[in-house]
A and B are shown apart, each in its own frame.
Chain A
Amino acid sequence: MALLARQLYFEAVKVGDELPPLVKPPVDRTQIARYAGATGDYNPLYVDELLAKNAGFPSAHAPGMLAMGFIGELVVDWLRGARLRRYTARFVKIVWPGDVITCRGRVVDRRFEGGGVYAIDMEVWAENQRGELVLKGLVIAQLYYSADDDSRQRAGQGPLVVTPDEEAARLAKLSRAQPAKRQEPRPPSPPQPSPAAKPAPVTKVTVAKPATPGPAAAPAGARPIPAGVRSSTAGAAHTASTAERPRSTPSAAPSRPAATHRGAATSEIPARPGKAAQPSIPSSQGAARDASPVGRGAKVARSAPRKRSVAKARSAPRSAPKAKPAARASRPRPGSKPTGKKRR
């Protein structure tokens, strides 16, 4: 409720902002039947298994509109009250019973339309548990510029008119006034490395990158990068703080700045808390029987998308759905440590 009362304002949105991924419980046949009943669209391909098989499909399937509705949930929650203008979707692949759908979105345009009208475009898409794109779409929304604009318009006054130049000037002023803003999201007390922990990063660096001259790496290794930080799931904030330090480790250099960026972005736009952990309403009945395999898959998917989207931000901010293999390849981090040890 408290979250709903908050508005998302145009001034806080940047091109490239990512919506926190929404992982829905597995789509089951009960949900498909409920959806068909709720819409009155009893397309036999959704509800008649035998007919679907006779028509050449492996089974009945979910309406594409179901996935479009899932993304609607993601978008409405993120926009928190902003007005939707247009929502288009292409149903790229069929959603089958048992599929776990992950919904994602990213701001691709931000427009001053003049006369106090502000709009954003969001590229949205949905993937199944195999990482296949099932839906691709675009959402156009209209936002209030700021809380001030919001209250003025609700009071029946004209909108607040801000030009791009005025905004740029204000941002420049802000960044001059608060140069150290970036440092704030640093975690309260980064774990201090014990003396014993020190040698570990040094050796790791030399093992991972044999080409790096040893002496140069040594002072960097002396910087506190506790092993715990790397594997910590709270990653974004931690890595952000390590990246602030000048050239902490050579091996860390290429990936960290992107993580910093994401950390900053998420701290500005509050993700809705606990969304991923929400109880699955429709899956409670139908999915109960196959809950163990699929349910576990859902859990994996729940944690993986976050990492994956970070990887995406690093590699290809625009063509995300296609760039997945590359993004995966550029994420050797968790695995690199054990192998380094084994080699030694």
Chain B
Amino acid sequence: MLDKSLIGRESEPVVHEVEKGAIRRFVEALGDPNPIYVDEQAARVAGHPAIVAPPTFPAVLAVNDRFRHSLDLGTRSFLHGEQQIEFGRPILAGDRITVKTRVADVQERAGASGTMDILVLEDEGRDAQGALVFRTREVFVLRRG
């Protein structure tokens, strides 16, 4: 089972520069044709100061492979069970966002195919002024074997 002592472990802060190209690739992967994600003028018309990122874009900023590897979880399959996103403000192209990830919880749960480990990660993104941009919480199910 997962080590309970992982709870509370926190990553180094990672600074992300939100690039237009990254937003564009993300919405193209989703197949979302909304122009506010790619066209500066469309974003202005919709009331944003610059190109915005779609609501699930924090997923891009919250992925911290190095931190996950540091948890030493082995080669077990990692299923995403739940996701929460809290928005402080919309993410804009050009933002510099500092993201920290921490282990919020570790549990063991009995499932249909034996016991499973549950890993809960929380991420927080803040802008250059220190204001909250987003807070996310991911629940992962780790299958044994």
A interface residues, Cβ below 8 angstroms from B:
1, 4-5, 24-25, 31, 34-35, 37-41, 43-45, 52, 55-57, 63-66, 68-70, 72-73, 75-77, 80-81, 83-91, 154, 278, 280-283
- 5 A-B Cβ contacts within 8 A? A55-B77, A66-B30, A69-B30, A72-B55, A84-B87
Which residues of B, 29-82, contact A by the 8 Å Cβ criterion?
Answer: 29-36, 42, 45-47, 54-56, 59-60, 63, 65, 77-82
Does residue B83 face the partner (Cβ distance < 8 Å to A)?
A: yes
B85 to chain A, nearest CB (A): 5
Option from A5, A57, A75 in Cβ contact (under 8 Å) with B55: A75
Question: Hey, which chain B residues are within 8 Å of A87, CB to CB?
Answer: 55-56, 84-85, 87
A18 to B44, CA, bound (A): 28
Q: A41 — nearest CB in chain B belongs to which residue?
A: B63
Give Cα A75–Cα B85 distance, bound, in whole angstroms.
14
Indicate whether A40 sits within 8 Å of B63 (C-beta atoms), given known contacts A63-B80, A81-B47.
Answer: yes
> A65-B59, A91-B80 known; 16 other A-B pairs, CB under 8 Å?
A5-B46, A34-B29, A38-B28, A38-B60, A44-B77, A55-B143, A66-B30, A68-B56, A72-B55, A75-B55, A83-B90, A85-B86, A86-B85, A86-B87, A87-B56, A281-B28
- Cβ-neighbour of B30 out of A4, A35, A57, A84 (below 8 A): A35
Residues of B within 8 Å of A24, CB to CB, are 31
Interface residues on B, range: 35 or more
The complex places the Cα of A91 from the Cα of B48 at a distance, in Å, of: 31
Given contacts A1-B45, A5-B46, A81-B46, contact A88 B85 (CB under 8 A): yes
Return B61 CB to nearest CB of chain A, in Å.
Answer: 9
| Top-5 shortest CB links A-B | A34-B29, A35-B29, A72-B55, A38-B29, A69-B30
* Residue from B32, B33, B80, B86 in contact with A69 in the complex, judged by beta carbons closer than 8 Å: B32
Min Cβ gap A114→B in Å is: 21
Once A5-B46, A38-B22 are accepted as A-B contacts, the answer to whether A86 and B32 lie under 8 Å apart by CB is no
Which residues of chain A have C-beta atoms less than 8 A from B82's C-beta? Answer: 88-91
Whether the Cβ atoms of A281 and B85 lie closer than 8 Å is: no
CB distance from A257 to the nearest CB of B (A): 35
The residue in A83, A278, A281 that gathers the most chain B C-beta atoms within 10 A of its C-beta is A281
A37–B26 Cα gap in the complex (Å)?
A: 9
Are A40 and B65 within 8 A (Cβ)? yes
Q: Chain B contacts of A5 at CB under 8 A?
A: 45-46
A171–B15 Cα distance when bound, in Å, is: 50
Cβ of B30 to closest chain A Cβ, rounded Å = 4
Q: Quick check: A38 and B25 within 8 Å, CB to CB?
A: yes
Contacts of A41 in B (CB 8 A): 59, 63
CA distance A90 to B63 in the complex (A): 18
